[in-house]
Chains A and B, each alone.
Chain A
């Protein structure tokens, strides 16, 4: 089972190595790990997707919390939250089939960010399952290159107007 965990960390050299090393040393499997800036200039936020059962997740959370530069750990398994992943994918497509792919891009609220004679590059943002559904639909055309940022997540506000 996949779990999304975030860790707010101090912007110190070696924090990423420490966290990544801890995961490797304890044999936890990382699906994705994203590091980026936050609203606070001295803090970064890591979003980590881990595979494992709830006991493993509990250990991951505790071991993360033990890293001195980790300020706050949050597990999203039981929280109402929004998850986003960004994908760039270059799809092989002949001019005559291009409209089919563009229709799919439109349906998935993606953007075409580059077009050449035999390929288009698409940018797609969304939760993981939407990205994967799109990938499967365009796979028959031929995927030349694909890159994803990995998931970032944020808890919904208490007064949240509702899910998407």
Chain B
């Protein structure tokens, strides 16, 4: 996380314009990449960017720009930064702000606004951006005075990256970017009410929690995105190994715990493994670390982990006892608290519990059919093997997202970029590109569906334009598959609004300037994937897969986690 202090910088801002001050503070805050799209209200700042050391990356749509900033942030832990103009430029980033907010991703968004004296007059390209974005931001600002601009930008970075991270927006009227402050502007924070809860947990509570864990017969660690945000994977591994504690991760925490570890239960919840869900339902102590008991994780809340005493570690006090009544709350940073726990955790004999889990793993393995048309799961499993489970993976939202979660095989944090909370289709393409900018030498692959890919595939042009070696796999079933699955299972096969005939994506990709192969036969898949991985350019692998494949296991909405539907393999 960016180290931000309230000490003012040494360089002077006196005599500079708002746009120059903005540029200076972005550099001071460590911004190297700024994703965005220009427009009238931000022209003064673009003029400064012309000679700035900041790399500006032009997307093809503002939504693309903000998801790029998001992918940049998720893959590095740094604050992602996005720039858009007033009115439609700003409203086009709203989905991206909500995406980042729901998943607690640190981000600073800068939007242009019409001139101060025009605000409220329905001027050209005017929108009440702070009003529109308030519910989807951790905080936002309308800067009406250039004397406040530097302070607000510095506060924005601090707020975005501290405590429970989130997006912060600063709306800047164009006359503020051309104005010059009176003398040296005051850059000191003015945040008397903001006291982020980082650091250690209460010692007594930590001991209480560890005593409960040590005394447990069937403990489970239920780990969320907070562990990744906090960089606590090593500490998690140490606690789990010392205490012989099985670990299940949410979608947001994939990679926080190596899935090849014997203690890994992999993902839990609606499309989680049977063994993770059974373990949670049978647990006598459930330790939640940086997770928030989302409805896609808990199933029927009243029957979630019915036998367990619940310990909840979270940096956000408002997450604790929000949906589930918690027995031992622990407020603080996951890394610090797990570190505190290590010395108190004992290593009792857990053979019966671990045996039970091993039995479940044998009896209810993750599986899929392998005959007939290419199965989407096998494409993902093949990618996992061919990339040594080490690529950075972005996804859209839907069936392919769940299959990626289930079958890629996760082993390190910040490897999985996916819109978990908001479930934003179209996230994958731009997020992968943003991650590629931050990790130019890493293999970054967007695993996408034909629905999600269609929403933002225009950004493949951006990847080509910046010579990004990003890979895109489109699992094409000509359906909006997740909705189709629900209509098949719960609406009597009445497919309504889900038939999604697709073009030849590989021809489109080639027209965009990317390399591309379309695969329809199983025997061609491996070679095509090898070509994709070996390629040094932007590459779209268009795979036509089984059309009516379903995601299993599945816990239907409103069911308890143990009421799980397993696949019937033909």
Contact = CB atoms under 8 A, between A and B. Distances in A.
Contacts of A22: 135
Nearest to A73: B193
Contacts of A21: 134-135
A15 to B, nearest CB: 10
Interface stretch (B314-322, B419-427, B519-527, B535-543): B314-322
A17 B131 contact: yes
Interface string B102-141: 0000000000000000000000000000110011001110
Contacts of B138: 68
B159 A68 contact: yes
Interface stretch (A44-52, A57-65, A114-122, A130-138): A57-65
B134 A62 contact: no
Interface in B315-333: 316-318, 321-322
B142 A66 contact: no
Interface in A28-73: 55, 58-59, 62-63, 65-72
A70 B134 contact: no
Nearest to A18: B134
B321 A55 contact: yes
Interface in B67-90: none
A14 B130 contact: yes
A83 interface: no
Contact of B193 (A13, A58, A62, A72): A72
Nearest to A67: B193
A68 B317 contact: no
B90 to A, nearest CB: 15
Interface residues of B, number: 19
Interface residues of A, number: 22
B194 to A, nearest CB: 5
A70 to B, nearest CB: 5
A112 interface: no
Contact of B192 (A10, A17, A63): A10
B193 A10 contact: yes
B191 interface: yes
B193 A59 contact: no
Contact of B142 (A9, A13, A59, A65): A13
A25 interface: yes
Nearest to A66: B318
Interface in B173-221: 190-194
A72 B190 CA distance: 15
A72 B194 CA distance: 10
Nearest to A40: B192
Nearest to A12: B141
A116 to B, nearest CB: 39
Contact of A68 (B142, B194, B316, B322): B194
Nearest to A70: B193
B351 to A, nearest CB: 39
Contacts of A68: 138-139, 159, 191, 193-194
A59 B192 contact: no
A13 B130 CA distance: 10
Given A10-B192, A68-B139, A70-B193, A59 B134 contact: no
Nearest to B131: A17
Contacts of A65: 317-318
B135 A25 contact: yes
B67 to A, nearest CB: 23
A72 B135 CA distance: 20
A14 B134 contact: yes
Contacts of B191: 68
Given A17-B131, A68-B191, A72-B193, A62 B317 contact: yes
Contacts of A63: 318
Contacts of B318: 59, 62-63, 65-66
B278 to A, nearest CB: 29
Given A59-B318, A62-B317, A68-B193, A14 B135 contact: no
Given A10-B193, A14-B130, A17-B131, A66 B159 contact: no
A5 B322 CA distance: 19
A17 B134 contact: yes
B345 to A, nearest CB: 29
Select the residue from B135, B140, B318, B321 with max chain A CB neighbours within 10 A: B318
B134 A58 contact: no
Contacts of B317: 62, 65
Contacts of A71: 192-193
Nearest to B319: A62
A62 B135 CA distance: 16
Contacts of A25: 135
A9 B322 contact: no
Nearest to B191: A68
A62 B140 CA distance: 19
B135 to A, nearest CB: 5
A9 B321 contact: no
B75 to A, nearest CB: 27
A38 to B, nearest CB: 13
A23 B159 CA distance: 22
B134 A9 contact: no
A23 to B, nearest CB: 11
B176 to A, nearest CB: 14
Interface in B134-158: 134-135, 138-140, 142
Nearest to B144: A13
Interface of A: 9-10, 13-14, 17-18, 21-22, 25, 55, 58-59, 62-63, 65-72
19 contacts: A10-B190, A10-B192, A10-B193, A14-B140, A17-B131, A18-B134, A21-B135, A22-B135, A55-B321, A58-B321, A62-B317, A66-B318, A67-B193, A68-B139, A68-B159, A68-B193, A68-B194, A70-B193, A72-B193
The 3 nearest A-B residue pairs measured at CB: A71-B193, A62-B318, A68-B139
Given A9-B193, A68-B193, A71-B193, 20 more contacts: A10-B190, A10-B193, A14-B130, A14-B140, A14-B142, A17-B134, A18-B134, A25-B135, A55-B321, A58-B321, A59-B318, A62-B318, A63-B318, A65-B317, A65-B318, A67-B193, A68-B138, A68-B159, A69-B193, A72-B193
